[in-house]
């Protein structure tokens, strides 16, 4: 939901309703869950609403929108189980697989069981570009005008079968923006939830509403110019899943933001190949918010209501809501709930999962029968000066939390709540007003959701934004964060979402301190459909941090540094060898810093050694958000295959004993020229080590 229509601009605020505040789930001791250090997905580009998709071979994919003004989005892949990420080989120019006239809005990614990738990109509300890759992101087929409605907004996929199978179908639901009819005000159109289907992944046709196709009146679909309406009573479209019998289930909110609804479509194939759906709509938060015009209740969802299906065909919806008074004003913090159903038609009562603070932007994932995880952004405050919106929490420390249940179908499920992020990932408020955040100068740097998924062993993987980058502006609501990378973490211990217990990081990112090793032979330049070896000098094999009385001593080793001349197939004539790490400064605008130290060789010439603090770009119109300027010199040397960098304490804010340097990562890159005082600072990532932490000593 990177660009919402004005009709949804206030969707983050909930309105009038009443009821009791739902039963809190029982709590029982379970094995502790732990998570890896954050793996930085891209060193240069800011994250926003990142997703996380996993294929059967363990490849990971994440995508983010870069904004409609930039007209492109980004896709990254990890071929080493999440230890590091690079942009896909099929990137063209600045980002997305194919260059359509517009783009850069919301993104959605899913993968079939064969490993084929499906990617959707919102084109400035006008239409969706849909792409498919059958070779792990090297080449793509794209349709720039792929859906029948316009204008459109936030989209989600659901896949049946594999691309190429006779019965393959991929469904895409989205908002037909301002196409519905508001029964209370015909002159104020609402979003209309619509459904479409494709058999090739790039050209989508309407899934016809059965009543409308028969010429009957459907009170849920009065407005709109297409016959693929699901409902006019639409606030924000959540994701969708396919039931074992082929029915579609969509989670979403209502036009007034009060109700969380599951719309279920029974699909049939008509002569001529038309897919028809007969829809039923079930309110799943009625016990919290019966949607009456008086008395308080806990209503709405901020922002998406999300749905997941376990391996036995049971369903779970997660949402975050606030309690309101009779005037519709919030009188309590956001709370995160999960409601379960064994059949997708009959739903239990919402169970309160979160504990303390304010908790919103939830995402749910399910594994084996009854095993469910829901993740959210957690603020350590509930209110400020009597105000409860996340927009009002100007002194909040925001972290990532996850709740897990192994018996979510029981009458009294047990939930454990774990803080995932090693440190708060943001300081200050979160704007929940959609498009109006631009007008109000509110902070939308985290977007409107994060995602949780699981791998073949049942270990959780989460993708979210870490805004600890010291880049912000000051608006009416305080500091507005601007830059922070997408990061991915993996569960390293605790109950599996499939069965048994996770023991260690496996092949994925772990939690080492002081240093790491990295396999040789994994340095590549990805671009223009090619996955090309970057050469031995850009192939990192280890990284380490220690200290002396003057500062940090950072070492990096490569497979061979006998020559610093970058291979002509590696994307540039300049070589970069850089180590970066994050520091967290509590209760401080910007929330911390991303410091770095590196070596640069232009055209194989004698190296320069440099360090600094990542800075934002000066509004040059490129997609790069974080600059690594090589202008400030530090002591350094190359000896054999080892680079040694001496970082003075003054460069990283002083010698603060006990300070943790988070997600220290060494990476190599090629560039077209020097990064010194370069307002663009674009480089091509070629290799990166897993992350590690370092604790500053006396």
The DSSP output letter for 387 is: B
d(CA 696, CA 527): 38
What is the number of other CB atoms lying within 10 angstroms of the CB of residue 615?
Answer: 16
The string of pLDDT tens digits covering residues 456-509 is 999 999 999 999 888 777 766 666 666 789 999 999 999 999 999 999 999 999
Q: CB-based contacts of 173: which residues, under 8 Å, 6+ apart?
A: 155, 156, 158, 193, 194, 195, 196, 230, 237, 240, 248, 250
pLDDT of residue 97: 64
**pLDDT at position 435, please?**
67
Q: What are phi and psi of 56, to 5 degrees?
A: -70, -15
Q: How far apart are CA 80 and CA 523, in angstroms?
A: 12
With a cut of 60, say whether residue 544 has pLDDT above it: yes
pTM: 0.93
Q: What is the pLDDT of residue 665?
A: 98
> Do 649 and 634 meet the contact criterion of CB atoms below 8 Å apart?
no
- What are residue 149's phi and psi, to 5 degrees? -100, 155
Report the relative pairing of strands 34-35 and 608-613 from DSSP bridges.
unpaired
H helix or E strand, kind and range, residue 213? helix 210-213
Please list, in sequence order, all residues whose beta carbon lies within 8 angstroms of the beta carbon of residue 350, skipping any fewer than 6 positions away: 22, 284, 285, 287, 288, 319, 337, 338, 339
What's the pLDDT band for 619 if we cut at 50, 70, 90?
A: low
Beta carbons of 487 and 43 less than 8 angstroms apart: no
Q: Nearest 5°: CA angle at 517, between 513 and 518?
A: 130
Q: Would you call 342 helix, strand, or coil by DSSP?
A: coil
CA nearest neighbour of 298 among 258, 262, 338: 258
Q: How confident is the model at residue 684 (pLDDT cuts 50, 70, 90)?
A: very high
- Mean pLDDT across 230-243: 94
Residue 643's contacts (CB-CB under 8 Å, 6 or more residues apart) are 555, 556, 557, 558, 561, 577, 599, 636, 637
Pairing type for strands 275-283 and 205-209 reads parallel
Beta strand 574-584 pairing with 592-602:
antiparallel
Query: What is the three-class DSSP state of 7?
Result: helix
Q: Where are the domains of the chain?
A: 6-503, 515-695
Question: Residue 203 pLDDT > 60, yes or no?
Answer: yes
Residues in Cβ contact with 370 at an 8 Å cutoff, skipping those fewer than 6 apart: 310, 312, 314, 405, 406, 407, 408, 409, 410
Least confident of 234-248, 393-407, 469-483: 469-483
Residues 307, 388: Cα–Cα separation, whole Å: 26
CATH number given to 6-503: 2.120.10.10
Q: Please, what's the b/e burial string for 342-364 (b: 16 or more CB within 10 A of its CB; e: otherwise)?
A: eebeebbbbbbbbbebbbbbbbb
Alpha helix positions (H), 34-167:
none
Question: For the residues 672-679, what does the mean pLDDT come to?
Answer: 93
Q: How far is CA 373 from CA 403, 454, 625, in A?
A: 6, 9, 32
Average pLDDT, the chain: 89
Per-residue confidence band for 263, with pLDDT thresholds at 50, 70 and 90: very high
C-alpha distance across the termini of the chain, in Å: 47
Average pLDDT over residues 191-218: 89
Largest CA distance in the chain: 82
In sequence order, which residues have a C-beta less than 8 Å from that of residue 281 and are 6 or more positions away?
A: 220, 231, 233, 261, 262, 263, 264
Q: What is the pLDDT of residues 220-234, one digit of tens each?
A: 787 666 789 999 889
d(CA 140, CA 200): 12
pLDDT for 538: 98
* In 454-610, alpha helices (H): none
Mean pLDDT for the stretch of residues 17-28: 39
Q: Which residue has the tokens 């020559």?
A: 563
Q: Are strands 141-143 and 426-427 parallel, antiparallel or unpaired?
A: unpaired
pLDDT, residue 541, reads 98
Helix (H) or strand (E) holding 438: helix 436-440
Q: What percent of the chain has pLDDT over 70?
A: 88
Higher pLDDT, 402 or 214: 402
| Residue 587 CB neighbour total at 10 angstroms | 11
Helices vs. strands in the chain: H and E counts, helices first: 2, 50
Cα–Cα dist 42/556, whole Å: 19
Q: Band of the pLDDT at 10, cuts 50, 70, 90?
A: very low
User: What's the half-sphere exposure (Cβ side, CA atoms, 13 Å) at 367?
Assistant: 24
Average pLDDT of the segment spanning 424-443: 81
Say whether pLDDT at 140 is over 50.
yes
CA angle 17, 22, 28 (to 5 degrees): 160
CA distances from 272 to 146, 167, 268 (A): 20, 15, 12
Cβ(129)–Cβ(118) below 8 Å: no
Backbone angles phi, psi at 210, to 5 degrees: -60, -40
320-332 burial, b for 16+ CB within 10 Å, e for fewer? bbbbbeeebbbeb
The span from the CA of 645 to the CA of 635, in Å, is 6
Among 172-181, 513-522, 653-662, the range scoring the smallest mean pLDDT is 172-181
pLDDT at 440: 74
**pLDDT score recorded for residue 656:** 96
CA gap 678, 535 in Å, rounded: 25
The helix (run of H) or strand (run of E) holding residue 210 is helix 210-213
Average pLDDT over residues 130-145: 92
Which of 4-18, 27-41, 405-419, 436-450 shows the lowest per-residue confidence on average (mean pLDDT)?
4-18
pLDDT of 193 higher than 80: yes
CB–CB of 110/159 below 8 Å? yes
Which residue has better confidence, 311 or 178? 311
347 and 282 in contact (C-beta within 8 Å)?
A: yes
Is 22 a residue whose pLDDT tops 80? no
In tens, the pLDDT along 67-78 reads 666 667 899 999
**Residue 301, helix vs strand vs coil:** coil
Helix (H) or strand (E) holding 682: none
Q: For residue 9, what pLDDT is reported?
A: 27
Beta-ladder partners of 54: 60
Bridge partner list, 145: none
Q: Is the pLDDT of residue 543 over 60?
A: yes
Which pLDDT belongs to residue 225? 61
% residues pLDDT > 90 (the chain): 69
Among candidates 319, 320, 388, which has minimal Cα distance to 359?
Answer: 320
Q: Look at residue 671 and tell me whether its pLDDT is greater than 90.
A: yes
- Enter the DSSP assignment of 211: H
Structure confidence at residue 7 as a pLDDT band (50, 70, 90): very low
Both tokens assigned to 450? 């994060």
Higher pLDDT, 211 or 517: 517
């Amino acid at each position: 939901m990177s660009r919402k229509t004005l009709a949804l601009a206030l969707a983050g605020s909930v309105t009038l309703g009443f009821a009791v505040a739902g039963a809190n789930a029982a709590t029982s001791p379970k094995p502790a869950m732990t998570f890896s250090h954050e793996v930085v997905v891209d060193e240069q580009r800011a994250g926003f609403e990142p997703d996380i998709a996993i294929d059967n071979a363990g490849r990971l994919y994440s995508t983010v929108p870069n904004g409609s003004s930039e007209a492109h989005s980004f896709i990254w892949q990890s071929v080493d189980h999440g230890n590091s990420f690079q942009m896909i080989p099929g990137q063209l120019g600045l980002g997305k697989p194919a260059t359509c006239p517009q783009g850069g809005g919301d993104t959605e990614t899913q993968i079939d069981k064969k490993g084929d990738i499906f990617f959707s990109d919102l084109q400035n509300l006008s239409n969706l570009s849909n792409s498919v890759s059958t070779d792990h992101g090297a080449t793509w087929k794209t349709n720039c005008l792929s859906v029948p409605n316009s204008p459109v907004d936030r989209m989600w996929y659901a896949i049946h079968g594999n691309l190429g199978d006779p019965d393959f179908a991929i469904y895409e639901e989205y908002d037909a923006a301002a196409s519905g009819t508001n029964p209370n005000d015909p002159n104020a159109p609402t979003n209309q939830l619509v459904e479409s289907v494709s058999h090739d992944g790039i050209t989508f046709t309407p899934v016809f509403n059965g009543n409308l196709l028969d010429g009957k009146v459907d009170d849920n679909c009065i407005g709109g110019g297409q016959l693929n309406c699901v409902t006019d009573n639409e606030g924000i479209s959540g994701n969708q899943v396919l039931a074992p019998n082929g029915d579609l289930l969509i989670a979403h909110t209502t036009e007034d933001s009060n109700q969380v609804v599951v719309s279920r479509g029974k699909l049939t194939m008509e002569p001529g190949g038309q897919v028809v759906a007969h829809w039923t709509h079930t309110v799943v938060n009625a016990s919290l918010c019966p949607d009456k015009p008086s008395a308080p209740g806990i209503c709405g969802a901020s922002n998406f209501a999300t749905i997941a299906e376990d391996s036995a065909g049971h369903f779970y919806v997660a949402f975050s809501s606030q309690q309101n008074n009779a005037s519709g004003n919030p009188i309590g913090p956001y709370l995160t709930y999960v409601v379960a159903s064994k059949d997708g038609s009959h739903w239990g009562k919402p169970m309160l999962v979160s504990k303390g603070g304010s908790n919103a932007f939830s995402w749910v994932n399910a594994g084996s029968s009854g095993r469910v995880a829901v993740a959210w952004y957690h603020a350590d405050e509930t209110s400020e000066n009597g105000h409860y919106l996340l927009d009002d929490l100007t002194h909040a420390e925001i972290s990532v939390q996850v709740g897990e249940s192994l018996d979510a179908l029981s009458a009294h499920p047990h939930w454990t709540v774990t803080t995932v992020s090693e440190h708060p990932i943001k300081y200050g408020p979160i704007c929940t007003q959609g498009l109006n955040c631009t007008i109000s100068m509110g902070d939308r740097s985290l977007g409107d959701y994060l995602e949780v998924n699981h791998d073949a062993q049942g270990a959780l993987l989460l993708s979210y934004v870490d805004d600890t980058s010291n880049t912000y502006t000051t608006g009416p609501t305080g500091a507005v964060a601007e830059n922070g990378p997408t990061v991915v973490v993996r569960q390293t211990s605790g109950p599996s979402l499939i069965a048994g217990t996770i023991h260690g990081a496996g092949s994925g990112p772990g939690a080492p301190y002081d240093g790491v090793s990295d396999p040789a032979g994994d340095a590549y330049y990805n671009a223009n459909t090619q996955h090309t070896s970057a050469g031995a000098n850009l192939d990192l094999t280890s990284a380490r941090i220690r200290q002396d009385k003057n500062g940090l001593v950072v070492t990096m080793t490569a497979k061979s540094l006998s020559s610093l001349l970058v291979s002509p197939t590696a994307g540039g004539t300049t070589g970069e060898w850089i180590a970066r790490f994050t520091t967290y400064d509590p209760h401080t605008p910007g929330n911390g810093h991303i410091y770095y130290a590196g070596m640069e060789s232009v055209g194989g010439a004698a190296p320069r050694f440099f360090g600094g603090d990542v800075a934002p770009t000066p509004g040059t119109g490129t997609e790069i958000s974080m600059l690594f300027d090589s202008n400030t010199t530090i002591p350094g040397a190359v000896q054999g295959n080892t680079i040694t960098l001496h970082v003075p304490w003054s460069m990283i804010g002083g010698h603060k004993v006990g300070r943790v340097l988070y997600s220290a990562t060494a990476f190599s890159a090629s560039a077209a020229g020097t990064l010194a005082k370069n307002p663009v600072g674009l480089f091509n990532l070629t290799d990166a080590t897993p992350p590690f932490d370092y604790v500053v000593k006396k």
